Structure 1
């Protein structure tokens, strides 16, 4: 099972990036074979549609779960259509987030937890 984590740098010990579409990079982790890799986020410098572009990259990479701090409605819709589970509210490091995920301690999101364009300074979704 391959899990993607939004990160500020490309390593398991990197701090997570709370943004999805404009996170610095994505760390892909496969705990079954103790393999990880970092990929550049293709949406980071996009003038628009960063979340959609980032989400589609992870769909193409066949991830089964995504760990995010915040995610907007358009990116979330891409994952919902693809049947990919999204877990939200991560903090700490990539390694800590993966551990919490495997212990079942991260909340599964049933929708976006951020407003559109929040990664560009828009803010959080109102409760």
Structure 2
């Protein structure tokens, strides 16, 4: 299963970023082979609709679970309708989020 975590940096030790649509990156963790991949958030500089654009990127990457802090209603609807499980919380790092939620 692929898990995406909103972050402000790269890799497992990156700082967790609570803002879904405006995070710098997503760290994608593959639970099957225990690998990490950092992808830039294509919606970071959007004037409007950042959450929806970020949600579409998450869906395109076949992510089944998203860990973030805050997410807008429209992005939440897009992700939920595609079967992505959303976990909201507060963490210091990507690693902490994974350890607590996956």
Give the TM interval when normalised to the shorter protein: over 0.9
Q: Is the 1:16–1:91 contact (alpha carbons within 8 Å) kept by the matching residues of 2?
A: yes
The answer on 1:43 being equivalent to 2:43 is: yes
Q: Rg larger in 1 or in 2?
A: 1
> Cα distance, 1:92 vs. partner?
1.1
The answer on 1:89 being equivalent to 2:85 is: no
TM superposition score normalised by structure 2: 0.97
| Partner in structure 1 of residue 31 of structure 2 | 31
Partner secondary structure for residue 74 of structure 1:
helix
The answer on 1:101 being equivalent to 2:101 is: yes
> Cα distance, 1:32 vs. partner?
2.0
Partner secondary structure for residue 17 of structure 1:
coil
Greater relative contact order, per chain length (Cα 8 Å cut-off, separation 6+): 2
Give a deviation string over 1:47-99, Cα, whole Å, max 9, x none. 11000000000001110000001111010011111011000013111011001
> Cα distance, 1:12 vs. partner?
0.5
The answer on 1:72 being equivalent to 2:72 is: yes
Distance 1:101 1:38 in 2: 19
Count of residue pairs brought into register by the alignment: 102
Q: Is the 1:67–1:90 contact (alpha carbons within 8 Å) kept by the matching residues of 2?
A: no
Query: Structure 1 stretches of 5 or more lacking a match?
Result: 103-127
Partner secondary structure for residue 59 of structure 1:
helix
| Partner in structure 1 of residue 53 of structure 2 | 53
Q: CA RMSD in A?
A: 0.7
